[in-house]
Amino acid sequence: MLRRAAFSATSVARVSLVGMQAELRTPVVANDGVVSSPVDEFIPPTKNTQMIQTHGRYAKYANPAFTKVDTSEEVVLNTYPEGPLEGRLENTGHNPADYKASWVDEDFFRKHVLKQKPTTLDGPELVDFAINASLVGLSACMIRYAVMPIWWIGQPKMTLVNESNVEVEIGEMEDKQCKTVVWRGKPVYVYARSPDQLKAMEETPMNQLKHPETDQERFPDNRRYAVVIAICTHLGCIPAANEGAFFGFFCPCHGSHYDPSARIRAGPAPLNLEVPPNKWLDEGTIYLGS
């Protein structure tokens, strides 16, 4: 590169040392004619100073007559200020068989020359549409499977969701009979109390209770049944029904005694057994949940 630059800076570079420069260059003939003699091949025509000044050094051999174009029969576009802004197409009313691009009008051009927009999809467009639709569908599936694991973080299991609200048909129950229902993963006692037990619960003084609650407050809908979560409020053991000093519920782990209303009467448990949200639909059907 440096050697070539140094050589081109000298006057010697303008002379072909081996006579190859004249042989390899493209011959230029006046009026853009064909090469017909050694003179046309090796001797360029006279440079035109006017063309150089008007069009630049690349037009030094061009004939000025070639730059004059007759536009009398050509399509005239964007004629300002006389012509409209969108351009003007001259000459109208031609036969398609005699069509020439030099004098076609706009209506003829749009009707006979321009390719009409197809009303149905052709092969390549149909394939392109199918590929694009498939890519969009696959992208949507990828986004779904990428986002959904993040969405489900911290959500409860569907088994717990299904068990959050349950409707239980208990049927006919005898006095002091207890049935167990699983609700939200916890055991729930449905305990049928006798008339004597109901009378004793109503007559129990509040000052004898560690966690004072009336039986009416705990079971307002169906007074015969005590519906409680069967988990001892001391350390979470399962109490037994019809046991203990008050013939209600008894926790064998640490000796907590509950009455038939599941209220703590003796032992280490600090609170009554919890009453889940419930609603009696009829005499033999209960709905657990909010």
- Catalytically annotated residues: 254
Cα–Cα distances in Å, from 106 out to 81, 83, 98, 118?
Answer: 19, 14, 16, 20
97 touches 108 (CB < 8 A): no
198 touches 215 (CB < 8 A): yes
* Token pair recorded at residue 230: 């069967």
Integer distance in angstroms from the first to the last C-alpha of the chain? 88
How many CB atoms neighbour CB 278 within 10 A? 20
Cα–Cα distances in Å, from 144 out to 8, 132, 133, 212, 243?
Answer: 67, 18, 17, 53, 55
Cα–Cα distances in Å, from 20 out to 7, 13, 55, 170?
Answer: 16, 12, 30, 113
Burial of residue 198 (CB within 10 Å: 0-12, 13-18, 19+) is middle
218 touches 227 (CB < 8 A): no
β partners of residue 229 = 188
